[in-house]
A = this chain, B = another copy of it.
Amino acid sequence: MPGIRSNILSMAGYTPGEQPRDGEYIKLNTNESPYPPSPRVFDAIREALTNNRLRKYPEPMGDTFRQAAAKVLGVSPDQVLIGNGSDDILTILTRTFVPEGGLIASPTPSYILYRTLAELQGARFQTVPFTTDWQLPDPWPVAIADLTFIANPNSPSGTVIDPASIFRLSSRIGTPFVLDEAYADFAESNGLVNVGEGNVVITRTLSKSYALAGIRFGFAVGPEPLIREMLKVKDSYNCDVLSLAAATAAIQDQEYLRETRRKILATRTRLSASLTELGFAVTPSQANFIWARRNDRPMKPMYEALKTRKILIRYMNYPDYGDGLRVSVGSDDEIDVFLIELRKILNV
A135 sits at the interface (CB 8 A) = no
Chain A residues with a Cβ closer than 8 Å to the other chain, count: 82
A238 and B55 within 8 A (CB): no
Say yes or no: A232 contacts B98, CB within 8 Å.
no
Q: Is A100 an interface residue (CB 8 A)?
A: yes
Copies of this chain, how many?
A: 2
Q: Are B56 and A213 in contact (CB under 8 A)?
A: yes
Cβ contact within 8 Å between A174 and B2: yes
Contact A52 to B36, CB < 8 A, known contacts A85-B237, A95-B120, A242-B45 = yes
Chain B residues whose C-beta falls within 8 Å of the C-beta of A32 in the assembled complex: 55-57
Interface pair B16/A237, CB less than 8 Å apart? yes
Judged by a CB distance under 8 angstroms, whether A115 is at the interface is: no
Decide if A235 touches B55 in the complex (CB within 8 Å).
no
- Judge whether B85 and A235 touch: CB under 8 Å: yes
Chain A residues 6 to 63 lying within 8 A of chain B, measured CB to CB, are 8-9, 11-14, 16-17, 19, 21, 23, 27, 30, 32-37, 41-42, 45-46, 49, 51-60
Residue of B nearest to A241 (CB): B214
> Among the listed B13, B21, B59, which residue makes an inter-chain contact with A231, where contact means beta carbons less than 8 Å apart?
B13
Contacts A/B (CB < 8 Å), 22 sampled: A2-B174, A3-B176, A3-B199, A3-B226, A4-B97, A5-B96, A8-B229, A8-B232, A13-B232, A14-B236, A32-B55, A33-B55, A37-B54, A45-B49, A45-B242, A57-B207, A57-B213, A84-B84, A84-B235, A87-B236, A113-B236, A120-B233
Residue numbers in B under 8 Å from A185 (CB-CB)? none
With both beta carbons as reference points, the residue of chain B lying nearest to A239 in the complex is identified as: B216
Q: Among B21, B122, B175, B214, which residue has its beta carbon within 8 angstroms of that of A55?
A: B214
